[in-house]
Amino acid sequence: MSKLVPPHGGKGLVCCLLEGKALEDEKKKAAGLKQIEISSRAKGDLIMMGIGGFSPLNGFMKKADWKGVCEKMLLSDGTFWPVPVTLDVSAEDAKDIQGKEVALVRNGELMATMKVEEVYEMTEADKKWECELVFKGQGPDSEKFWEVAEKDHPGVKMVMAQKQFNIGGPVKVLSQGDFPEKFKGVYKTPKELRDEMDKRGWKKVAALQLRNPMHRSHEYLAKLAVETCDGVVIHSLVGALKPGDIPADVRVKCIDTLVEKYFVKDYVIQAGYPLDMRYAGPREALLHATFRQNYGINNQLVGRDHAGVGDFYGMFEAQEIFDKIPQPKEEGKRLLCEPMKIDWTFYCKKCDGMASMRTCPHSKEDRVILSGTKLRKMLSEKAEVPDHFGRDEVLTILRGYYEGLTEKVEIKMQRAASGSTM
């Protein structure tokens, strides 16, 4: 009997991925359906619905769900859900598809079929309303939100660029893309990760969210979790990121090196999941916790500026939001994955080790401020990386990656990364 936290929604793992004869039959049927090209974000969302990562969702949201999630973080049936999962289509594609089945494709690959139960228009005002509720935080950039967001916030740009209509309804997923092959041994479905943790007898499990290469603060957080839990999952996003971020294959190589040399393997699992980043800060921290519950994880490490971008969010806003979420009466509809709230961490020269604001009494000048953004900026500019910022073996991998780049992207430093607000 598994000791792990049950999947979110109270329905077990809701998996929309077809296999065997059902898969072959659906592929044949899809050949005769209207084809709709989808975005990279929608592809990742589809795969998560396929493997059960987005349980209890079994399709893209209809208008009542979209509205309830934006406004109250609740699906229309009262289940907690923090971020819209919608599929946008053009006016041309939206014609005469209500009540019909369509095929969803991405760059020529057949991803799914969908029963279109609802077609609803998304006006500019609707998109702005979604952005203000989902992406607007308490950081200085949000004081002038619409002056900067459409230019500097990748999540807002994504929503505002969406087509004129959304379509909602259940899906049958036909592919996991190239993730199982490209990230073999790292990419894991919720069932695969649950099976692995069950074999180890784990019950209390923490996840470390990663979209940047693993530096000393990440390593410290993971080891804090190992000390207090049965084990930690270093759970890395292997979907699409914004320009300037480091691709998944490089990050995976860095994590492999760290786990091999600096962790006791019995207490750590490296895993990858197929989503694109939304950069929704606090709301995305809640999304991460929601789907991690489906992976069998009941604790999520939340440090400084989790899933943030620029200066749109307060430093610890992603921790605070967990105390404000709705609590449905039915336990199955509540979020059961809890945050492990960690203060700002750094290397302190006087402490001679990793520390946090709660454990280190020394001055800012004694501290090496660690952040993924700061590391990317230093490496992209071929600047010297301070001692104790990252492990030498990891820095060697990252320097090799940057030396091979033919096109550089300017890395914008935010307050959280620079340490200016410490």
Q: Which two tokens stand for residue 257?
A: 């090196």
DSSP string, 116-128: --EEEE--HHHHH
CA 7 – CA 186 distance, rounded (Å):
21
Q: Which of 277, 273, 280 is closest to 73 using CA atoms?
A: 280
* Residues annotated as catalytic (active site), given as ranges: 211-212
Q: What is the largest CA-CA distance in the chain?
A: 69
Number of other CB atoms surrounding residue 73 within 10 Å: 22
DSSP string, 332-361: GGS--PEEEE---EEEETTTTEEEETTT--
CA 86 – CA 64 distance, rounded (Å):
12
CA 257 – CA 259 distance, rounded (Å):
6
CA 29 – CA 80 distance, rounded (Å):
34
**Beta-sheet strands, E only, within 179-327:** 205-210, 231-237, 268-273, 299-302
Q: Which two tokens stand for residue 340?
A: 């492990």
Q: Which two tokens stand for residue 261?
A: 């040399």
